[in-house]
Structure 1
């Protein structure tokens, strides 16, 4: 569950904006998930069932701002086209108590060990019940026997209650080796993750705590842990523990790589080392799908809203990402790629609207025309002697044809940095410290690969096959559609370029 103080500061700023109630279709994404109306934040209860990806999410069914937190619900077969469903778990208000339904997870109780199924495996949802009047957060369970359309709260809730104000975001999964269900929960102010174990999903015993390592600059939230094969070798599996928190840029996620034995997680790296999931200023509260096909680990995060108000919706999800661990000179590191569920379906999604070019010599700037700003771009640069190469996107021209606004995405070869530069488009909208965002990344054989996913108001940039990722929110003018490829202080070759148009026309 995302941080209230941060959200309220956004809302206060937006309340002063006279633009607040004007429809903003120019910024509603086409291939990223948004609710039909109103506020959303963290993804919750991600689970794959019967050929469909279910997405539950933090949702305000009443208005277009944070509050009345409930679990919204949608499902999809391709992770792009979503069927919106009724609210699955609504906020509960009584005379004395308000119970908001904060973040959590969902599992399929295949063996009905909970005894809550009615002849078939029930879906069990685990969430944090936030009681603001009592200043208490505890862990609740609810169950569904109709495929997740409706849930009934477990009669003996709470299943875990420490009488704490900040204790949230249960993530539950099956650990085959120890033959038990595992839950991770955030001990927010202690900067710790607490592990619990259960045989029946109802009675939970504490196993261990992990924490006080990595970035401890703010409260820890939304923890989860998954196994990943190193370099694709299933005989060499490591565990990845992820945490959400607020860092120097704002929304931040860090990860730890190590071992988990069914009770304790041990970090392989120095306790002071901070490894970032995303080097941007927007990606937050991500969790993976449970039960995904072929045991694939697909991560989905919330892209926190930027400095503009949108209406009649606010908030969107990231592109789903496939996760992998790879050996690098710095050690074992996380790699992320836009999910193959979508990438393998681009031809159909784009309806054959594809621009494809090869071996373009770039010295200075080369205009590529206009795009829809709902595009999936893949490029490979042979840097040669260029100190800087990349793209200028969302270019807006004045009446004389001069570019007056643009967003630059590229690679700074003399600094070994992937970067996003919004200095000519987002000043006064973004925090000044986030106008330029970068991530250290080395070329491979003198080449760099850049994937750019631009979708109206979101920008996700993947470098060298997902070694680095920068995600951020942007708010280009509706007519800002120019795209240019460039090389500075030398020349380069654009070895390969593909631009898919994913707009829903």
Structure 2
């Protein structure tokens, strides 16, 4: 009954907070909480024919605090419905927070696996962490396991960082990886196994930093993809290297070969997954169509978050299908269901030469834009798309043909400091840009996911459309089509 009353109290506070939210930057087709703070996506799972997404949530404040699990579900990965908060902290196993984790369908029992957070000295950020489960038969109300924690403490050679369990089943055995750090502050991922999700045996280290990949690996995810194994991680503490690793913390992947019998993972180098400003803590799941689908947190720690003044903060990215491309590169592309967002289609030009710029006037805030540049015989220096606002506001996406570099510039749309991100891209004669624009976000998918760039933006003025541009010479526009998109929250 105490847990029920905590959920009711949190829901009541959330309802009250929602009434005070300023809608100016509220997103139209992304997962958000009704109000206040959210961060990592948790527990992505398909259960009884519906998609469930949980997220780290503080229902009492627009700033990070004692973590709860917020909850949405959908039949189509597009139209989301808010459900009651799934987990609240305060029990002996999770006194100071229900931190990130995962979800599995265990023969009809939806099981959440999460980290319990416990402060020893909050001011000095001294804490310890353990692993717990909560169970549900209806996918809405969850009861914490009476014998939590299922893993009380990390291996003896660990630092206190011990969190973010990702669980999956291989043959008849459950496996769990956790983000961890050694006592020497070396980031790593460790592995456990279980027959029943309740009693766990430590297997060993799955992968570990060579000293260059940070002091802690958060939010790990491990899965098979096209015959290879992929480890996605969010390392803390990687130093910036030119145009790489420019965010406070990074999210990326290692691809290689794995043997369950020996827990041996032979992998290549760490690669950033998204080259924008605001992509972190990605998680994936396998759906009933056989797709590996990823969703990330669409913000970054210590970034400028002006929506706090509006009574909310944080959102999740669009769902993306993950595939393996050439040279073991991870590609991400929007799920096909996102075409359900489209309201009206406008094909503006096809096989047309562009000598300077082509302007599309629209004050619609929610847009999908597809532009295809034929670069094969062009002597242009740069081509790209500019999202236009009043009084000089803009978000600019530029491809430098000679340098083979894609640049996203948000300095004139709310990111005055550190507003530019770059990504190497060999367009190979054809540049395809698929761009999703929301009230305070942009997601770019270039050349079928060879590059993705995700950033929040906070324009103060009304949008007046977008334009295609070229510099120094003509370029052929093979296609320019855009769609107005529906607001799923209205």
For this structure pair, what is the TM-score category when the shorter chain's length is used for normalisation? 0.7 to 0.9
| 3-state SS of 2:24 partner | helix
| Counterpart residue number, 2:479 | 496
| Counterpart residue number, 1:459 | 442
| Counterpart residue number, 1:385 | 379
Provide the aligned C-alpha RMSD in A.
Answer: 2.1
| Counterpart residue number, 2:424 | 440
| Counterpart residue number, 2:331 | 335
Instruction: From the superposition, tell whether residues 481 and 33 of structure 1 become closer, same or farther in structure 2 (CA, over 3 Å).
Output: farther
Instruction: Structure 1: give runs of 5+ residues left out of the alignment.
Output: 1-20, 111-120, 230-236, 398-403
Q: 1:274 aligns with which of 270, 273, 281?
A: 270
- Aligned partners of 1:97 and 1:26: how far apart in 2? 35
Instruction: From the superposition, tell whether residues 161 and 341 of structure 1 become closer, same or farther in structure 2 (CA, over 3 Å).
Output: same
- The CA deviation at 1:285 is 0.6
- CA offsets, 1:246-296, max 9 Å, x none? 443223112000122225242332xxx331111112100110125x12221
- The CA deviation at 1:26 is 2.4
| Counterpart residue number, 2:364 | 372
- CA offsets, 1:454-505, max 9 Å, x none? 1111111111100111111111124133311100111111111221111437
| Counterpart residue number, 2:168 | 173
| Counterpart residue number, 1:138 | 130
- Aligned partners of 2:363 and 2:351: how far apart in 1? 21
| Counterpart residue number, 1:4 | none
User: For the Cα contact (< 8 Å) 2:86–2:142, is it kept in 1?
Assistant: yes
- The CA deviation at 1:105 is 0.4
| Counterpart residue number, 2:458 | 475
Instruction: From the superposition, tell whether residues 372 and 218 of structure 1 become closer, same or farther in structure 2 (CA, over 3 Å).
Output: farther
Instruction: From the superposition, tell whether residues 394 and 51 of structure 1 become closer, same or farther in structure 2 (CA, over 3 Å).
Output: farther
User: For the Cα contact (< 8 Å) 1:61–1:68, is it kept in 2?
Assistant: no
- Aligned partners of 2:94 and 2:485: how far apart in 1? 45
| Counterpart residue number, 1:126 | 113
| Counterpart residue number, 1:161 | 152
Q: 2:224 aligns with which of 211, 224, 227?
A: 227
User: For the Cα contact (< 8 Å) 2:258–2:266, is it kept in 1?
Assistant: no
1:419 aligns with 2:407: yes
- CA offsets, 1:88-117, max 9 Å, x none? 1112168x983310000010111xxxxxxx
- The CA deviation at 1:214 is 8.1
User: For the Cα contact (< 8 Å) 1:371–1:483, is it kept in 2?
Assistant: no
The correspondence of residues 205-244 of structure 1 with structure 2, limited to 5 A, is 205-209=201-205, 210-213=207-210, 215-229=212-226, 237-244=227-234
- Aligned partners of 2:277 and 2:235: how far apart in 1? 12
Instruction: From the superposition, tell whether residues 425 and 88 of structure 1 become closer, same or farther in structure 2 (CA, over 3 Å).
Output: closer
Instruction: Structure 2: give runs of 5+ residues left out of the alignment.
Output: 1-18, 122-126, 237-244
- Aligned partners of 2:266 and 2:440: how far apart in 1? 37
| 3-state SS of 2:166 partner | strand
Instruction: From the superposition, tell whether residues 363 and 22 of structure 1 become closer, same or farther in structure 2 (CA, over 3 Å).
Output: farther
| Counterpart residue number, 2:7 | none
| Counterpart residue number, 2:350 | 358
| Counterpart residue number, 1:15 | none
| Counterpart residue number, 1:195 | 191
Instruction: From the superposition, tell whether residues 276 and 180 of structure 1 become closer, same or farther in structure 2 (CA, over 3 Å).
Output: same
- Aligned partners of 2:188 and 2:448: how far apart in 1? 31
- Aligned partners of 2:277 and 2:477: how far apart in 1? 28
| 3-state SS of 1:201 partner | coil
| 3-state SS of 1:161 partner | coil
Aligned residues: 442
- Aligned partners of 2:38 and 2:22: how far apart in 1? 16
- Aligned partners of 1:156 and 1:215: how far apart in 2? 39
- Aligned partners of 1:218 and 1:492: how far apart in 2? 46
- CA offsets, 1:205-246, max 9 Å, x none? 1222111148523421000111111xxxxxxx0011000124
User: For the Cα contact (< 8 Å) 2:252–2:270, is it kept in 1?
Assistant: yes
- CA offsets, 1:122-157, max 9 Å, x none? 11110000011372101111111222x111111221
| Counterpart residue number, 1:79 | 77
| 3-state SS of 2:97 partner | strand
- The CA deviation at 1:422 is 2.2
User: For the Cα contact (< 8 Å) 1:259–1:267, is it kept in 2?
Assistant: yes
| Counterpart residue number, 1:323 | 322
- Aligned partners of 1:387 and 1:293: how far apart in 2? 45
User: For the Cα contact (< 8 Å) 2:95–2:116, is it kept in 1?
Assistant: no
| Counterpart residue number, 2:13 | none
